[in-house]
Amino acid sequence: QPQMTAQIGNFTFKHLFLNASGVYCRTKQNLDDLLDNQATGGIVTKSATLRSRKGNPNPRYHSILNGAGSINSMGLPNYGLQYYLDYLLSKSFDKPTILSVAGTSFDENIELLKQIQDSDYQGMTELNLSCPNVVGKPQIAYDFETTNKILTEVFKFFKKPIGVKLPPYFDLNHFDQIAKILNQFPLDHVNSINSVGNGLWIDIETESVVIKPKKGFGGIGGKMVLPTGLANVRALRERLKPSIKMIGTGGITSGKDVFAYLLCGADLVSVGTQLGIESPKIFNRLESELAAIMVEKGYTSVNEFRGKLKSLE
């Protein structure tokens, strides 16, 4: 079996696969199922807010083009920070855990992280700066000044391992700008991408949108966002300091996609839409597909090709 592991800070991931925050991770049972799967390197919680949230009205999720994509406007439904802290402090874990948080205001983000800092939780944290589906709220990481302000405030008091979840960027100058900001901070990781915000899907039969919130506008995920995810991971890897590790997310459905993310420089990958379709057994499939590709290419370790995507010079 080729060596497929990764290191983020003091955390060793014995497998390269994580669930994308938000998919199959809202309940303690979901998280236990992910934990018990032998191909997951760790588990990621649904992004928590301070208090539990019902989220947006249904229908708020829709599969599009026979599973080639997904559109969602969940609206951060979760059981609140304490529920996830209780779970994460209820037992010892044999693989790293990532507690995702998403405040719907500057103050809520700070309070969430203050509570984590003051708690006994010693795992990893991920600050979700990219939820596109809270009505009336922007995707924070598209506002560079606010992102800088939040991270400056966070690192005055937060001393535990932390990373950020980013939205996709589509302009090379934006990659330069966000990387310049992130490189100022002792971040453990960046997770890119979150869904492609505010897409729209239409049912021709009914001449209607397919999800209720925001007149049908929602985040796009699944296979169709793979080129955007790959570009963001590659562009950020080239610009971020080596101490900031990379979780590649977006459109993974096969071992080939995982291999492509690793070539772009991902240390780990996470799977959302396709996990929702196939359930956790997808991780066993992806791991065996990736291993077969590595064997066929004569690689014994991911380190031999991670980040080594070739250009056509």
> Under the criterion CB under 6 A, does residue 232 sit at the interface with ligand OXC?
no
Tokens of 41: 């390197």
49 lies in the binding site for ligand OXC (CB under 6 A): no
Q: What is the DSSP string of 191-250?
A: EE---EEEEE-EETTTTEES-SGGGGEEEEESGGGHHHHHHHHHHHHHHS-TTSEEEEES
Residues 73-102, interacting with ligand OXC (CB under 6 A): 73-76
- Least distance between ligand OXC and beta carbon 131 (Å): 3
The interface region with ligand OXC, picked from 7-15, 35-43, 72-80, 250-258 by CB under 6 A, is 72-80
Residue 270 binds to ligand OXC (criterion: CB under 6 A): no
Judged by CB, which is closer to ligand OXC: 137, or 174?
137
How many CA atoms, within 13 angstroms, populate the side-chain half-sphere of residue 196? 22
22 forms part of the interface with ligand OXC (CB under 6 A):
yes
Residue 133 touching ligand OXC (CB under 6 A) = yes
**Shortest Cβ distance from residue 30 to ligand OXC (Å)?**
15
Q: Spot the catalytic one: 130, 192, 195, 270.
A: 130
100 is annotated as an active-site residue:
no
Stretch that binds ligand OXC, among 88-96, 126-134, 175-183, 243-251 (CB under 6 A): 126-134
- Cβ proximity to ligand OXC: between 194 and 253 the closer is 194
Cα Rg for the chain, rounded, in angstroms? 18
131 is a catalytic site residue: yes
β-partners of residue 192 are 166, 248
- Per-residue tokens: 123: 């795992």
Contact 229, 257 (CB under 8 A): no
131 sits near ligand OXC (criterion: CB under 6 A): yes
Question: 284: burial class by Cβ within 10 Å (0-12, 13-18, 19+)?
Answer: middle
Q: Where are the beta strands (DSSP E) in the chain?
A: 6-8, 11-13, 17-19, 43-44, 61-64, 69-72, 97-101, 124-128, 162-166, 189-192, 196-200, 202-203, 208-209, 217-221, 245-249, 268-271
128 binds ligand OXC (CB under 6 A): yes
Candidate list 37, 40, 130, 270; residue touching ligand OXC; CB under 6 A: 130
Answer yes or no whether residue 192 interacts with ligand OXC by CB under 6 A. Answer: no
Give contact residues for ligand OXC (rule: CB under 6 A).
Answer: 22, 47, 72-76, 128, 130-131, 133, 194-195, 219
Q: Catalytic residues, which ones?
A: 130-131
